[in-house]
Structure 1
């Protein structure tokens, strides 16, 4: 339980029983080597969410009626509440309960012809049955769905490959069990809205190369993801039937340029579009809550005496707010962040690192929460860490 500065506390418990059985088979058809896998998953998950009464908070305590937090609070010594105590938190006696029975059967095969052409494919059937309840009400979701995947890899030379892949997936309604609002994917017991599952399709083509005597892996990919029967809020009503598409390119490199110099990083550029919506003005808009450009690069150099010096640069583009299509009037700006570290291997077991994060003390925001009154989370400012690790 959280302290009394925040009244939106909960008591939550989770019980899970799960079993997975899998069998693998290897066989040949002529010069083609096969590895087939088949399996069965079954699980039961039970969740209870209880609420406390008798609490006050800095946002909703007596005498403070607006949304958000109290102004002019010292972050190092905030006021615990704006109302006098004592406080007597009491756990309510009617928790929200979720019971989920899920099961799946799947089969897949990988066919390898002389390590030059590799083809894989599989199919999976899932059953998802959810019941949520309180003493006075209950609701249920019953979804069965089939997904599949297929791919091919061509290796013209041992150090390089070209590939293409396609796959589907499904998000059943109510699968976000720790969220108690339907707009976040939950199915509360008092909700009368039960929607069908969302269907996803993903396609990707790319290439991978092992360079510098196989010490550096360089990859590049073009990808597209579509979602159909997507959920969106129209006014105060959650609906389905919307759709969107994301396309992009991903370029990455990881490994060593020399025996002493290594790099890890990549760049992702994306374009998104709402292709179908119950709100006509959303069609054609980019997706909300998505950074369409991102970049990161970590590099380090090893000196004599087991010293390593490194640095990192991170970029994320602006992120628009909104619940589905982007609200271009609400956004968090793009940012660059720079980090650095120095590391010393003391002996074969012990390593010590001095790490500096956000060297320029950049003020940036790493989260924009969607709501009627959007709010953000401020990312950490300049910080220094001393980290000691041991391996035995």
Structure 2
């Protein structure tokens, strides 16, 4: 085995130039003033310019090949796209990739933070920052992101447990050897204001400092009383840039103070149904109606500290170590809405909606250390590109429970919290609702992980390459809980430990230098409690993913695809067809009070992507995805022996599409885009009469946006963004009972001044 250097060709060319130049200089010195002019042949140096929308390689060191030659679907959403769109949040950024939908939550509850599904599976617990899992019921901002990387398909070998449909990797901004300042000042409809700053300052020959700042404040378009306020600070410093050893120290601190939104009742919407015939004839409520109450609030704190060290042992071997500590807190009180009542009145002005008070009191903490290496070498004359590493991690989550019902706990009587209903068509935000009380019930869980991974790409020749990887992971999940049982606080413990082996393999064929055809196969494993650190004994009151002693759910994924770099490598075209199967899913038989693992979810899909430049002045990012979801042998039986069988997957549209494009004409840039989402099923039980179900689906919708920007000079750029250009009224997300919906943002605008120095 011999080490192969990527830079040998450079040094050999340099040696030839020096050898040729030295005799010439000696001759010139001897000739003195009589020296003759030395004439050299013309040399043309061609350098490929960076394409604003298109990335050629992932920032993830585990992915050793260019995106063109990586046998999986990966979309990189660069900061240039987010800047043009005026995107502020991760959820807004993810609109640039098809196959992702947002969720609202259970019946009366509203899910906290970024909650979404990708390719038919819940993915919010598979969000990473620089390759480290990011916990917490938080809404993430993009002010400190270089790019967002969306990796699709089972990815257990990449990130470990729970990666059924892929993961999101957020890449932080880090210092560079430049002196640059970029700032934005924005003001928009609903009295929204945005301020950001990105300051990079070179400190010495190999050190630099960077500071990213964010301040956002304002109401929410189309909603009464709902507002958001946040600020963020992200300092970083780097040493040894452009040297063999580089050290990065960086952190991020975000504070949010929001008014949470429980949505609006779905009465009067297409598909609404209620057993009360009078309610079925009711009209829609105003979409700006707010059903919350005094005291509704959401306060989120997020802090993260990271130390990263990189060392180039030689041209073919790099070693890295990353250490991370992070913590987030979410304290939220929300008024939820559910049941409707006519109060025996024929006048809709007297109709009411039931309200509830819900509390999210959650703390998350993570401590991680990752050591990795990347190496290039030859084995029997074949080139290898290897990535290997060791990951150690501790993840903790604490959830405290609150209640509103009257009950006696350990001999102490707690009265019912007053929850008067709200007027259906004319709600008041000043109604007095009581605050939920802390019951003492809680779930305090921790998962510790130790993992080893190894990936290698073996180049058989210029056209064929084999790609493979394996991850061995030992996990240990422990839960200390307190439950309220028969009027008493009862402590409990849950424990699950085991070993997981995840893998991936692929073959890549390059018919031409600018294209590839690949076939890949991968798996992932999801053990009980891996999503919420909550383990419980066999009980009908616990969800299926919390049961001790069950086998991990296993996902297998096969994908056939092709990727091409077109138009002088300025435009990337990708096409992939895949099948994903998740088995060992859990159903509950209340007749025998047991869980059984027979269910399976199958997702078949095709996805097409296009990103880059159509010309020097025309940028485009587009994608379209079609998928079919099916649940197999997924049934449950109630106490009466009635069997219910699920046949599909909620919130998984057959067709999604997204487009963003911009064209530059001198100092003027015009842009725009659209996104389409087909129907999303809520009712997925076979044999159900949909006419009797409340809002059985979210209707399809499409939304168009537009942008215009004018560069005043080298330092000032003016930009206006128009959202929902045609003021489409659509349901963005629906709760699991269909009783309430969150509407999409109506027509709105943001004017932004960009300053760069």
TM-score normalised according to structure 1 size: 0.84
Q: Does 1:254 align with 2:615?
A: no
Distance 1:239 1:288 in 2: 21
Q: Is the 8 A contact 1:274 1:325 kept in 2?
A: no
Q: Does 1:282 align with 2:637?
A: no
Q: Does 1:363 align with 2:733?
A: no
Q: Among residues 588, 598, 621, which one is paired with 1:241 in the alignment?
A: 598
Q: Among residues 2, 7, 12, which one is paired with 2:362 in the alignment?
A: 12
Larger displacement relative to structure 2 (218-227 or 25-34): 25-34
Which residue does 2:419 correspond to in 1? 62
Which residue does 2:628 correspond to in 1? 271
**C-alpha displacement of 1:324:** 7.5
Q: Does 1:170 align with 2:525?
A: yes
Q: Does 1:109 align with 2:471?
A: no
Q: Does 1:354 align with 2:720?
A: yes
Distance 2:631 2:333 in 1: 41
Matches within 5 A, 1:285-296: 285-296=647-658
Runs (5+) with no aligned partner, structure 2? 1-330, 337-356, 407-416, 483-490, 536-540, 637-642, 691-695
> Partner of 1:63: helix, strand, or coil?
coil
Matches within 5 A, 1:1-392: 1-3=331-333, 5=335, 7-52=357-402, 61-64=418-421, 71-73=424-426, 78-83=428-433, 91=438, 93-135=440-482, 136-177=491-532, 182-183=542-543, 185=545, 187=546, 195-232=550-587, 239-279=596-636, 282=645, 285-305=647-667, 307-322=668-683, 329=690, 330-371=696-737, 375-391=740-756
Larger displacement relative to structure 2 (157-166 or 347-356): 347-356
Distance 2:383 2:618 in 1: 39
Q: Is the 8 A contact 2:443 2:534 kept in 1?
A: no
> Partner of 1:370: helix, strand, or coil?
coil
Q: Is the 8 A contact 1:220 1:251 kept in 2?
A: yes
> Partner of 1:2: helix, strand, or coil?
strand
Distance 1:321 1:54 in 2: 28
Distance 2:393 2:754 in 1: 37
* Distance 1:117-1:80 versus aligned 2 partners, 3 A rule: farther
* Distance 1:351-1:112 versus aligned 2 partners, 3 A rule: farther
Distance 1:45 1:238 in 2: 27
* Distance 1:62-1:94 versus aligned 2 partners, 3 A rule: closer
* Distance 1:327-1:339 versus aligned 2 partners, 3 A rule: farther
Q: Is the 8 A contact 2:332 2:361 kept in 1?
A: no
Q: Give the root-mean-square deviation of aligned CA atoms.
A: 3.1
**C-alpha displacement of 1:223:** 0.9
Q: What is the aligned length?
A: 371
User: Deviations 1:199-230 (Å, cap 9, x if unpaired)?
Assistant: 00111111111222222111111111111112
Distance 1:128 1:368 in 2: 35
**C-alpha displacement of 1:12:** 1.9
More strand by share: 1
More helix by share: 2
Larger displacement relative to structure 2 (129-138 or 326-335): 326-335
Flag the structure with more relative contact order, 1 or 2, with Cα contacts below 8 A and sequence separation at least 6.
2
**C-alpha displacement of 1:80:** 4.0
TM-score normalised according to structure 2 size: 0.45
